[in-house]
Amino acid sequence: MDKKLKIGLIGLGTVGQGVLKVLSKHDDIEVVAAAVKNINKKRDVSVKNLTSDAFELANDPDIDVIVEVAGGTSVFDVLKTAILNKKHVVTANKELLAKCGSELFDLARKNKVVILYEAAVAGGIPIIFPIKSSLKANEFTAVAGILNGTTNYILTKMDEDNISYEECLLKAQQLGYAETDPTGDVEGFDAMYKIAVLSNIVFNKRIDVNKIYREGITNITSLDMKLADEFGYKIKLIALAKLMQDFQGKSALDIRVHPMLVSKKRALSDVKNATNAVMLKGFPVDEVMFVGPGAGEFPTASSVVGDILAIKAEIHRGDDILPMSVCHHNEFANQIDVEHTVNCYYLRIIASNTPGTIGKIGLACGKYNINLSCILQKGVNDDGSATIIVITEECLEKDINLMIKSIEEDSKIKVLNRIRVM
């Protein structure tokens, strides 16, 4: 009979408790200790050894694997210590991997241990292992996804119930989908960390998370949702990374997170509520999409325990286990600035209802090489102003910025929202 796999668990919140509940069905795995912030807090599960010092786990010679589900970057030194002590690591910590992953992966390779992180990107959706195994034959050109359940829930409710962002956020908080401080979700930080981790493995390049353009959903209104729907789109917070050429003709990665109008003809547009989705495009597979629960106690625990079981199956077979999980690339990607990206755009403009206003907008577009797909005045508002909707064909981000600046020199014209179109 194989020796029991000994686990040290860092974090005993929702996900940590889910991991314990799932592991209770595995007699060959034992959680010998857990590190928590508050030892005296009442919990639905129990661990025979609780400590407030995570370094005790990292330095315990009886522990084989450190499982970290606490989140944040404060655990970096603990995981570094664990790796130096030849312990394997399973983590759900996308922020840590996005900011400090390069150093941890290098250290793990030198010490012949693995870091597994299936739960860090899309909760219960298996995506990391499929990319590294069954999809390994592909040369990918793009990865895009809905990677944050909180924002997707809010946008879904804004669309379906025709209510404001503020009302939907409050509802999400009441249901436990959003934190008391929702900044990490609604301002796009969570999705930014996840697309950084995904891009690393999809394109075999290290990613500088500080160079990723990020924009949240707080400026989206129920009116934008309604108008997008009329034009055949749904608005989603999209995390995107794609291969392109920079302005010098060199290969570059365009990586960003922001709201987008997604055509109803695309499967991503129909991903609702707290569900997540990841779309990959490459050769020879063309396009594939993974859809499922992106967060929560048991979906995330599913991925965490899956990683633990992968280590359990290999750990007694000698050094260099799970070789496909080892990070060998060390070159940083050439990441392009958002000003040099090419997009279609939706603009919602408020302007005085006077002759020649639409003509001014059209002339400004022509001046900056912007072709229009649609320009439409949506009636006259109670105050005498007009709402004008513009949808452009593909153009440079820097050109649309110049065009907006140009038309806003007229004090009677104001661009209230600009959303890129997928």
Q: CATH no. for residue 281?
A: 3.30.360.10
Rounded distance, CA 321 to CA 314, Å?
6
Q: What pLDDT, on the 0 to 100 scale, is given for residue 325?
A: 85
Q: Which residue has the higher pLDDT, 330 or 10?
A: 10
Q: What is the pLDDT of residue 308?
A: 97
pLDDT digits (tens, 9 = 90+) for 322-336: 888 888 888 999 999
Residues that are catalytic: 194
Output the six-digit token pair for 264: 């109803």
Asked whether 127 and 278 are in contact (CB, 8 A), the reply is yes
Domains: count for the chain: 3
pTM of the predicted protein model = 0.95
C-alpha gyration radius of the chain: 24
Residue 333, domain member (yes or no): no
Confidence of residue 1 (pLDDT cuts 50, 70, 90): very low
- Separation of alpha carbons 165 and 158, rounded Å: 7
How far is Cα 239 from Cα 249, in angstroms, rounded to an integer? 24
Residue 144 and residue 285 in one domain: yes
Question: Which of 274, 293, 312 corresponds to the end of one domain?
Answer: 293
At residue 245, the pLDDT reads 80
Write out pLDDT tens, residues 223-254: 999 999 999 999 999 999 999 887 677 889 99
Range of the structural domain that residue 284 is part of: 128-293
Residue 33 in domain = yes
Q: Which residue bears the tokens 């390069």?
A: 102
The pLDDT > 70 percentage for the chain reads 99
> How confident is residue 2, by pLDDT bands cut at 50, 70 and 90?
low
Question: CA 380, CA 407: separation in Å to the nearest integer?
Answer: 20
Do 357 and 375 belong together in one domain? yes
pLDDT band at 381 (very low <50, low <70, confident <90, very high): confident
The answer as to whether 337 is a domain residue is no
What CATH number does the domain containing 102 carry?
A: 3.40.50.720
Q: Which amino acid is at 329?
A: H
More confident residue, 379 or 256: 256
Q: Are 99 and 109 in contact (CB under 8 A)?
A: no
140 and 97 part of one domain: no
- Kindly state whether residues 231 and 358 are assigned to the same domain: no
Query: d(Cα 67, Cα 305) in Å, to the nearest integer?
Result: 9
- Compute the mean pLDDT over every residue in the chain, rounded to the nearest whole number: 94
- Residue 146 and residue 282 in one domain: yes
pLDDT at residue 364 is higher than 70: yes
Residue 50 CB contacts under 8 Å (≥ 6 apart), including other chains: 33, 34, 35, 36, 39
What's the whole-number mean pLDDT along residues 298-311? 95
Span 82-87, average pLDDT: 98
- Written as six digits, the tokens of 260 are 């987008």
Asked whether the beta carbons of 220 and 167 are under 8 A apart, the reply is: no
**166, containing H or E segment:** helix 165-174
